[in-house]
Chain A
Amino acid sequence: MFTLKLRTFLIFVTLALFSNAAFGQAPKLGKPITAADLPEWDINILPDGTGLPPGSGTPADGARVYAAKCAVCHGPEAKGGANARLVGGEPIKSMDSEKTIANFWPFSTTLFDYIRRAMPFRQPRSLTNEEVYALTAYILSLNKLIGENDTMNAQTLPKVRMPNRDGFIVRFPEKTP
């Protein structure tokens, strides 16, 4: 009788401890969602092209979008205005050097990602994917990183090799996967 009571007691204690560990630490209040819930939020483009949407654009298309929506800040033909120029740039030499797309940016995918998430400054997320591809193509073409008639899409954009691709040193290799 005593043994049975002890055994029951121990089982009870074990269950109680287990329950605390299982449920006390994890309220599990997150609501499940699917990719279908995230079309407007899922906007990260990774350097290998993961995340690039369907669509395409050419430098000529991009020139028209640029003149209408970008030139007011970045100047005609992307030569700079109230905000940074998007074309040209002397080779990087020191901290006094101006970082530009042509002389510094290591990945072409960053252009699509950043234009789509942050530009135009006062109307972010107002551009269609086609317009973002076109603007990306226009800027890459102005910088002579692609040809004047090259089309940018999910296949071609990640293959554009940026001049400063290997210009970086990882500061904390032990902390960097």
Chain B
Amino acid sequence: MTPHEEAKRELQRLEPVAGNGLLHRRAFLRGGATLAGAMSAYRLVPSASAQKLADDPWSLAPGAAVPDYGVRSRFENKVVRTLSNPKAEARTQHARTPHHLLNGTFTPNALHFVISHAGDPDIDPDKHRLVIHGLVKQPLVFTLDTLSRYPMVSRMAFVECGGNSAPMFSNEPIQASVQALHGLVSCSEWTGVPLSALLDEAGVDSKAKWIVAEGADAPHLSRSVPLAKALDDAMIALYQNGERVMPGNGYPMRLLLPGWEGNMNIKWVRRLQVTDQPGMTFYEARTYAPILPGGKAYRFYFIQEVKSFITHPSPGLALSGPGFYEVSGIAYSGNGRISKVMVSADGGQTWAQAALQGPVHSKAFTRFRVPWRWDGGPVVLQSRAWDEAGNMQPTRSELVAARGQTARPPAVTGFPSQHYNAITSWAIERGGEVRNVYA
């Protein structure tokens, strides 16, 4: 018996731990490689046809010159962000991360989501300055060179737009990819200077309570940050996954507030005014203030709460027939580490615990995986996450009961509300296609 056949037999022996064929996660703890070989592959719709094996031209002659800055395979050119405003008209631009075409826990820099309210500024790093002033003993100005001489820290952190997953507030499920529904969140390793060191150097006044942070972009985008967060784990980030921060993510420096609303993580940060009151800036007074049923609205919705969604399979990433699959997805919480993810294949009636890819970092993506034997029948896949602070991801009906939903389906790129962190449900149809449903 070949290892492949052994693995397949092993999978056959595993008893389902939840309805519709979800298997025990211990399958991953044993020989993962052979297990993977026995599993079926998802196919991008439409599927490619099979080919016979032969020596191809690239095996019969030397390859191309190695480039000085790596470029991915030309066959991966369709793995791109989707753009809401490609002609840079006089409004916000969004670029969404294709989670269904990626795996692991880091987002490649060129695929990190971007929201730019007036385009990406082309900043000369030698001319950029960061000012700290206001309620401080000594106002200070820093250059990129001087900041680069400070002791630095590196940490994993997701950044998520407060409006990510907004299409899930639609009264009817919108048929779109996980990229369109959940593509305004990404995760990187950020390296930079702890903001507390710079604030200590300036000497924060005892009357200080807030920091109003401002970017060097055209709208001079500004948000107010509680001083306690600035002194806790905030960072002036200079590097993103090892290289300088990308222009769309704040080059040459951005404010990083791990786990907090993306818009507050001021990109191209140039000024921090220490104050005794919040600025009530446009983006906190108006834009990122979600309306509640009855007409009141939330203010200072700082934290991106515990959330998960399945990326494999997902709409546009179909099953190629009955058999064994790995169901996997992303979980994260602005309140700390993910402690548990459960997966259901029967619309939430029964649940199987997913394996978490370690190490599990606080306020960062955690990849979860669970083996699954699909019998070809209709199923509804869901994931539900818990964080170490004890928060549980709500169901959609729970969230909608508290926050409402639209009267009519909005445009998929619309933002009817914000801070959707409830469960996402994927229905698998007999042909293996995946649809967004409310279950």
**Which A residues are within 8 Å of any B CB, using their own CB?**
24-35, 37-38, 41-48, 50, 73, 82-83, 91-97, 99, 104-107, 109-110, 113-114, 117-118, 121-122, 124-125, 167-172, 175-177
Which residue of A48, A83, A167 is within 8 Å of B91 (Cβ)? Answer: A83
Among listed B287-295, B360-368, B430-438, interface-contacting one: B287-295
B201 adjacent to A28 (CB under 8 Å): yes
Chain B residues closer than 8 Å to A48, beta-carbon distance: 277
Identify the stretch in B206-214, B245-253, B312-320 within 8 Å (CB) of chain A at 4 or more residues: B206-214
Closest A residue by C-beta to B294: A93
5 nearest CB pairs, A to B? A30-B140, A118-B219, A177-B209, A117-B220, A29-B146
Task: For B169, list chain A residues within 8 Å (CB).
Answer: 95
Most buried by B among A92, A94, A122, A172: A94
In the complex, chain B residues whose CB is within 8 Å of the CB of A113: 222, 279, 281-282
Q: Contact check: which of A31, A35, A125 meets B140 at CB < 8 Å?
A: A31
Closest CB in chain B relative to A158 CB, distance in Å: 11
Chain A residues positioned under 8 Å from B83 (CB to CB): none
Complex Cα distance, B149 from A114, in Å, reads: 35
A48 to B275, CA, bound (A): 12
Bound CA–CA A110/B417 (angstroms) = 21
Q: Give CA–CA (A43, B169) in the complex, Å.
A: 36
Expressed in whole angstroms, the minimum distance between the Cβ of B2 and any Cβ of chain A is: 56
Q: Are B404 and A41 in contact (CB under 8 A)?
A: no
The answer to whether residues A172 and B300 also contact, given A92-B295, A99-B286, A118-B282 and a CB cut-off of 8 A, is yes
- Which one of A38, A114, A169 contacts B281 once the chains associate, using CB atoms below 8 Å? A114
Contact residues of B with A, CB < 8 Å?
A: 90-91, 117-118, 131-133, 138-142, 146-147, 149-151, 169, 197-198, 200-202, 209-210, 212, 214, 218-222, 226-229, 270-271, 273, 275, 277-282, 285-286, 289-303, 403-408, 416-417
Q: Is the CB of A168 within 8 A of B280?
A: no
Contact of A83 among B90, B138, B226 (CB under 8 A): B90
**Across the interface, do B273 and A106 meet the contact criterion of CB distance under 8 Å?**
no
Q: Which residue of A lies closest to B89 (CB)?
A: A82
B275 engages A46 (CB within 8 Å): yes
Is there an interface contact between B293 and A107, defined as CB atoms closer than 8 Å? no
- Say which residue of B138, B280, B303 sits within 8 Å of A32 (CB atoms): B138
- Sample (23) of A-B pairs whose CB atoms are under 8 Å apart: A27-B149, A30-B198, A31-B146, A32-B140, A33-B133, A43-B220, A44-B212, A46-B278, A83-B90, A92-B297, A94-B291, A95-B290, A96-B408, A104-B289, A110-B285, A113-B279, A114-B281, A124-B118, A168-B289, A169-B292, A171-B301, A175-B228, A177-B226
Cβ of B218 and Cβ of A118 under 8 Å apart?
yes
Q: Is the CB of B131 within 8 A of A172?
A: no
Known: A30-B201, A44-B222. 19 other contacts (CB 8 A): A27-B149, A30-B132, A30-B142, A30-B198, A31-B140, A38-B139, A44-B212, A44-B214, A46-B212, A46-B278, A48-B277, A73-B90, A83-B91, A94-B404, A104-B297, A110-B280, A113-B222, A113-B279, A170-B299
Contacts of A24 in B (CB 8 A): 151
Closest A residue, CB atoms, query B214: A44
Complex: how many Å from CA A46 to CA B211?
Answer: 12
Q: Which of A93, A94, A105, A175 contacts B286 (CB 8 A)?
A: A105
Contacts of A106 in B (CB 8 A): 280, 285
Q: Which of A27, A44, A97, A176 has the most CB of B within 10 A?
A: A44
Chain B residues lying within 8 Å of A175, measured Cβ to Cβ, are: 226, 228-229, 300, 302-303
A121 touches B90 (CB 8 A): yes
Contact B407 A96 (CB under 8 A): yes
> Inside 8 A of B218's CB, which chain A residues have their CB?
118, 121, 124
**Inter-chain contact A30/B141, CB cutoff 8 Å:** yes
> When the two chains form their complex, are residues B299 and A38 in contact, meaning their CB atoms are under 8 A apart?
no
- Bound state CA distance, A176 and B264, in angstroms? 14
Residues of A near B117 (CB, < 8 A) are 118
Nearest-neighbour CB distance to chain B for A93, whole angstroms, equals: 5
Using A92-B295, A95-B417 as known contacts, say yes or no to A25 and B151 having CB atoms under 8 A apart: yes
Kindly state the separation between the CA atoms of A118 and B283 in the bound complex, as whole angstroms. 12
| Contact of A25 with B197 at beta-carbon distance under 8 Å, contacts A41-B270, A95-B290, A169-B299 already known | yes
- Write the nearest CB–CB distance from A35 to chain B, whole angstroms: 7
CB of A47 within 8 A of CB of B291, answer no
A171 near B90 (CB under 8 angstroms)? no
Choose one: B90, B147, B279, B405; the contact of A44 (CB below 8 Å): B279
B303 contacts A110, CB within 8 Å? Answer: no
- Closest A-chain residue to B143, C-beta based? A31
User: Are B297 and A94 within 8 A (Cβ)?
Assistant: no
Q: Tell me if B302 and A171 are in contact (CB < 8 A).
A: yes
A172 to B273, CA, bound (A): 22
**B133 close to A42 (CB less than 8 A):** yes
Q: How many whole Å from B133's CB to the nearest CB in chain A? A: 7
B118, B140, B219, B295: most-surrounded residue (chain A CB, <10 A): B295
CA of A105 to CA of B209, assembled, Å: 23
| In contact, A168 and B297 (Cβ under 8 angstroms) | yes
Smallest Cβ distance from B280 to chain A, in angstroms? 5
Structural contact, B220 and A47, CB atoms closer than 8 A: no
CB distance from A118 to the nearest CB of B (A): 4
Contacts A82-B90, A94-B291 known; A110 to B146 CB distance under 8 Å? Answer: no
Q: Are A92 and B220 in contact (CB under 8 A)?
A: no
Instruction: Tell me the bound Cα distance from A121 to B218 in angstroms.
Output: 8
B219 close to A38 (CB less than 8 A): no
CB distance from B191 to the nearest CB of A (A): 17
Kindly report which residue of chain B lies nearest to residue A28, judged by CB atoms. B201
Q: Which residue of B lies closest to A92 (CB)?
A: B295
- Give the docked Cα–Cα distance between A45 and B275 (Å): 11
